[in-house]
């Protein structure tokens, strides 16, 4: 390995990516992010990609090698004139990502993941109807279980909680857990002596689609269960909105004088899409199974169209029961959305069923640790 010492003036790309207030930590994150996304780059490749000088890159690479986060993986395959560089690669098990999903009202799910989002260990704890302090104690025990089971240094703990969660990891309100103003992140940090981050479960699921399932950086994710949960990602960044309710389209009226909704109005989208409503409609009229699903899909497509147009989204992902969603409903929603937003300067937004299954929140919690603790977005 030769350490290149030739200074290289940073180009316009560098000025665009690196702001004056950014320090060494941000540059480290930038190099790690680049290797996370493109394994096998040499130091010279990294300098080109990041716009940092080769001296700076060599220095940052040395620190990442020292930390064990990356390794030298032999000569770079891409032959260029001059001396071949040494390929660098992420070490996926250099750190354990600890993740907890609190969205299931029966069982709390925990997992240990590699840096690439591979689940390597799982721990569950029954919630057993616990609420308030008792629920908090159960979460803390689950976090300790994970910490004990970790076989590599832990980068941090990420938690996906139902309800409203502020940017500091305070759960402002989570009805199913009986929590109001619970500073969960601070509590877990103190209990474990480990960095902890907490965010809303639906928002984490959207980040997981982007980070681990090849999802667009501009996407809306809808979780369709008892109600409609929503999360919005624009430019890869979660968008929360004024009331942390961005993307919540469940109570947009699609059928004036339709079925009564729990919000007090009639004919909300939720009265068509929420699983209990949809199942009831199908049970009431079994002869029109596909037609009912298609009607629900058309309502969904109609509500999605202006959202997709305003935010220029390229993807809408549905989480929830596949037997209800992934068929006539999805097809009708896609057809309506495509037709209603058709224009020559933009391709149609793709509507898909989530491929992450029950692990969406766990993966999102791991993505949260990656982002907050290692700077990998
Ligand atoms: Zn409603």
What mean pLDDT comes out for the span 267-274? 96
| CATH class of the domain at 214-354 | alpha beta
pLDDT for the residue 80? 55
CA of 235 to the centre of ligand 1 (A): 29
| pTM for the model | 0.83
DSSP state of 312: T
CA of 268 to the centre of ligand 1 (A): 5
229-248: per-residue pLDDT in tens? 899 999 988 898 888 788 88
Structure tokens at 65: 């090698």
pLDDT for the residue 117? 95
CA of 206 to the centre of ligand 1 (A): 23
CA of 257 to the centre of ligand 1 (A): 12
CA of 273 to the centre of ligand 1 (A): 11
Structure tokens at 254: 């699609």
Q: How confident is the model at residue 89 (pLDDT cuts 50, 70, 90)?
A: very high
Parse the chain into domains and list their residue ranges: 12-90, 96-206+360-374, 214-354
What mean pLDDT comes out for the span 57-79? 87
| CATH class of the domain at 12-90 | mainly alpha
CA of 260 to the centre of ligand 1 (A): 8
Residue 309's SS3 state is: helix
pLDDT for the residue 82? 56
Domains 96-206+360-374 and 214-354 in one fold: yes
The DSSP-derived string for 226-294 is SSEEEEEEETTEEE--TTS-TT--TTSBSSTT-SB-TTS-BSBTHHHHSHHHHHHHHHH-GGGHHHHHH
CA of 364 to the centre of ligand 1 (A): 28
307-319: per-residue pLDDT in tens? 999 999 999 999 9
CB atoms within 10 A of CB 106: 9
Strand 70-75 and strand 86-90: the pairing is antiparallel
pLDDT for the residue 237? 87
Looking only at Cα atoms, what is the longest distance across the chain? 75
pLDDT for the residue 178? 95
For ligand 1, a single-atom ion, which residues have Cβ within 5 Å? Answer: 251, 261, 263, 265, 268
Q: Is the pLDDT of residue 216 over 70?
A: yes
CA of 250 to the centre of ligand 1 (A): 6
Of residues 203, 145, 241, 238, the one with CA closest to residue 319: 203
* CATH code given to domain 96-206+360-374: 3.30.420.40
CA of 267 to the centre of ligand 1 (A): 7
């Amino acid at each position: 390995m030769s350490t290149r010492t030739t200074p290289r003036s940073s180009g316009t790309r560098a000025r665009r990516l690196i702001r004056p207030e950014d320090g060494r930590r941000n540059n480290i994150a930038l190099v790690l992010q680049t290797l996370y996304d493109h394994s096998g780059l040499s130091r010279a490749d990294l300098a080109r990609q990041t716009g940092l000088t080769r001296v700076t890159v060599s220095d940052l690479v040395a620190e990442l090698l020292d930390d064990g986060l990356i390794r030298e993986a032999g000569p770079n395959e891409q032959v260029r004139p001059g001396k071949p560089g040494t390929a660098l690669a992420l070490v996926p098990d250099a750190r354990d990502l600890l993740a907890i999903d609190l969205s299931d009202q029966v069982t709390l799910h925990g997992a240990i993941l590699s840096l690439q989002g591979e689940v390597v260990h799982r721990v569950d704890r029954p919630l057993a109807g616990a609420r308030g302090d008792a629920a908090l104690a159960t979460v803390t025990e689950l976090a300790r279980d994970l910490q004990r089971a970790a076989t590599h240094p832990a980068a941090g703990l990420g938690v996906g909680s139902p309800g409203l969660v502020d940017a500091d990891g305070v759960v402002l309100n989570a009805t199913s857990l009986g929590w109001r103003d619970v500073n969960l992140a601070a509590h877990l940090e103190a209990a474990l002596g480990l960095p902890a981050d907490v965010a809303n479960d639906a928002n984490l699921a959207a980040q997981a689609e982007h980070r681990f399932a090849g999802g667009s950086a501009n996407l809306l994710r809808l979780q369709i269960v008892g109600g409609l949960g929503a999360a919005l990602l624009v430019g890869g960044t979660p968008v929360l909105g004024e009331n942390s309710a961005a993307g919540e389209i469940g109570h947009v009226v699609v059928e004036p004088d339709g079925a009564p909704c729990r919000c007090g109005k009639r004919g909300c989208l939720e009265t068509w899409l929420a699983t209990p409503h949809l199942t009831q409609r199908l049970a009431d009229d079994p002869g029109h199974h596909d037609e009912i699903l298609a009607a629900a899909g058309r309502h969904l497509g109609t509500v999605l169209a202006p959202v997709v147009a305003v935010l220029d989204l390229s993807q809408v992902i549905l989480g929830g029961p596949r037997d209800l969603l992934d068929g006539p409903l999805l097809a009708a929603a896609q057809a309506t959305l495509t037709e209603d937003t058709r224009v020559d300067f933009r391709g149609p937004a793709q509507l898909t069923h989530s491929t992450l299954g029950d692990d969406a929140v766990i993966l999102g919690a791991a993505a949260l640790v990656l982002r907050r603790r290692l700077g990998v977005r």
